[in-house]
Amino acid sequence: MQQASFVHRLKRGAAAPPVLVVGAGFAGSIVARELAEAGVRVRIVDKRPHIAGNAYDERDPHGVLVHRYGPHIFHTNAERIFRYLSRFTEWRPYEHRVLSVVEGVHYPFPINRTTLNRLYGLDLDEAGAARHFEMAREPRDPVRTSEDVVLNSVGRDLYEKFFLKYTRKQWGLDPSQLKAGVAARIPVRCDDEDRYFTDAFQAMPRHGYTRLFENLLDHPAIHVETSVDFADVDDKDGYAYVVYTGPIDAYYGHRFGALPYRSLRFEHEHVADASRFQPVGTVNYPNDHAYTRITEFKHLTGQEHPGTSIVREYPQADGEPYYPVPREENEDLYKRYEALAQAETKVAFVGRLAQYRYYNMDQVVGAALAAARRLLA
Ligand code: FAD
Ligand code: UDP
């Protein structure tokens, strides 16, 4: 009864939209769309000058479609999520491949049979690769940290060559200081599978992510404003409901202390005199350079162009928050903010920064759909 009257109140024709959504990335835009389709009017603001959050893509000055905030490859096992997004975009099939450079040689990554054979000059079949890992691994029980995960599956030599320094660069932390889930994102393979992801659905929005978001937000009940920071919204208290997708600690004025987020600097470059820069979408540099990886966008988008555009990712402590840092103590701190969030009756926190979770895009879509469903009950 109470919920029915809540939605009814939101639908009533007040002058201003009754719901404010903060952040026009996947989390905010999907909640906005779901509310709008249920007849609720929504104002969505983003402090950046554009929609689409970290998935934002654009043509660079040379006309190549690039991802401003680093490579975004869509993959999911959830048909429901894929179908949902298919309402707003056509797709281009794309399966991401990654090579990792160790001592100047390119190896398939995640580590597979080819990686082993090439690295050690072997000729193992699948069973031989499995035996190799079995001999090399350092069993850990329990498996708590990212160091445990890698040592437990492939042993010290591969750990030191492919994981240790990449992780130190990416997070400014040792794998032993990060929860198991970080390294557990990367499988280990005994066969020749060389796709980065093995999800059932792997594709890129045919006309880019920004176009997908334009379609998502194109609804008469949604009012979009970019370059508007939540801090500068002066009628904050006038909304019946706020959906907040920014960093949760910022919402609460960092009252328990700042939650650590890892940032990146993206160095974009256009290479005019070659149509190809590297053999696959992404090349990782675990042990060399200050950047972790180089991505060449034309692999992802299938665009034809006489030149090509790449991005290098330089991890850094300060700057825009891009990654929650999965460590026990950070999650304890997050739980204190989460307790405040759970006591709110007029605010929902959704998304990678607001829920402090290392979510992929499809997981954020799932979280946003669930949040909207809860709201509309
Ligand atoms: P965001 O996209 O961060 O959106 C939050 C928005 O809120 C931002 O636009 C921000 O400007 C706005 N905001 C914050 N505070 C305020 C405020 N005070 N006022 C107004 N607006 C505010 N996922 C994949 O599935 N595949 C990939 O290949 C992949 N690659 C990635 C590569 C990189 C380098 C990074 C950083 C992430 C990658 N991700 C990938 C993860 C993906 O970016 C996220 O899962 C997804 O974009 C999160 O959506 P979101 O809406 O939660 O957050
Ligand atoms: N990782 C690594 N070496 C690599 C690639 C990844 O050690 O060549 C580790 C590193 O800790 C990284 C994590 O695995 O942060 C997850 O990698 P993923 O490619 O999923 O990271 P993302 O694309 O989210 O930055």
> What number does the ligand 2 atom closest to the CA of 186 have?
14
Residues forming beta bridges with residue 259, ordered by sequence position: none
What Å distances lie between residue 288 and 166, 249, 293, CA to CA? 9, 34, 10
pLDDT (mean) for 67-85? 98
Q: Residue 248: pLDDT above 80? A: yes
Q: Is the pLDDT of residue 3 over 50?
A: no
Q: Is 25 in the pocket of ligand 1 (CB under 6 A)?
A: yes
Distance CA 317, CA 88 (A): 35
Closest-CA residue, ligand 1 atom 52, reads 351
Q: What is the pLDDT of residues 361-377, one digit of tens each?
A: 999 999 999 999 999 98
Mutate to test the pocket of ligand 2, among 102, 146, 158, 163 (most ligand atoms within 8 A of CB): 163
pLDDT for 17 equals: 80
pLDDT at 9: 60
Looking at residue 168, its pLDDT comes to 98
Tokens encoding 172: 């400014």
pLDDT of residue 247: 98
At residue 194, the pLDDT reads 98
3-94+201-260+324-376 maps to which CATH number? 3.40.50.720
- Backbone angles phi and psi of 338, in degrees to 5: -60, -35
- For a substitution probing ligand 1, which of 26, 50, 54 has the most ligand atoms within 8 Å of its CB? 54
* Ligand 1: nearest atom to the Cα of 46: 21
Domain ranges of the chain: 3-94+201-260+324-376, 98-184
Which residue from 186, 283, 312, 325 has its CB within 8 A of the most atoms of ligand 2, so it is best to mutate? 186
Whether 7 has a pLDDT exceeding 90, the answer reads no
State pLDDT tens for residues 51-64. Answer: 999 999 999 999 99
Q: How many CA atoms lie within 13 A of 41 on its CB side?
A: 13
Give yes or no for residue 47 CB within 6 A of ligand 1: yes
Q: Nearest residue CA, atom 1 of ligand 2?
A: 163
Whether pLDDT at 12 is above 60:
no
Give the model confidence (pLDDT) of 328-362 as tens digits: 999 999 999 999 999 999 999 999 999 999 999 99
- pLDDT one-digit tens code per residue, 13-32: 556 689 999 999 999 999 99
Check residue 13 and give its pLDDT.
54
Q: Would you state the pLDDT for residue 8?
A: 62
Question: Residue 1: what pLDDT?
Answer: 37
Residue nearest to atom 30 of ligand 1 (CA): 72
Any atom of ligand 1 within 6 Å of the Cβ of 286: no
Half-sphere exposure of 188 (CA within 13 A, CB side): 21
Q: List, chain by chain if needed, residues with CB within 6 Å of any ligand 2 atom.
A: 100, 109, 162-163, 166-167, 170, 182-183, 185-186, 284, 286
Dihedral sign (CA 237, 239, 240, 241): negative
How close is the Cα of 259 to the center of ligand 2, in Å?
Answer: 21
- Indicate the Cα dihedral angle 119, 124, 125, 130, nearest 10°: -80
Tell me the pLDDT tens digit for each residue of 171-228: 999 999 999 999 999 999 999 999 999 999 999 999 999 999 999 999 999 999 999 9
Per-residue pLDDT tens over the stretch 283-305 = 999 999 999 999 999 999 999 99
pLDDT number for residue 11: 63
Q: Residue 201: which residues within 8 A CB-CB, separation 6 or more? A: 74, 75, 76, 77, 78, 79, 82
- pLDDT(5) > 60: no
Question: 259: Cβ below 6 Å to ligand 1?
Answer: no
6 pLDDT more than 70: no
Q: Is the pLDDT of residue 170 over 80?
A: yes
What is residue 118's predicted lDDT score, i.e. its pLDDT? 98
pLDDT of 268 strictly over 90:
yes
| pLDDT band, residue 135 (cuts 50/70/90) | very high
- The answer on pLDDT for 67 being more than 60 is yes
Q: What single letter denotes the amino acid at residue 176?
A: S
Q: Which helix (H) or strand (E) holds 83?
A: helix 79-86
pLDDT of residue 2: 44
Phi/psi for 122 (5° steps) reads: -110, 175
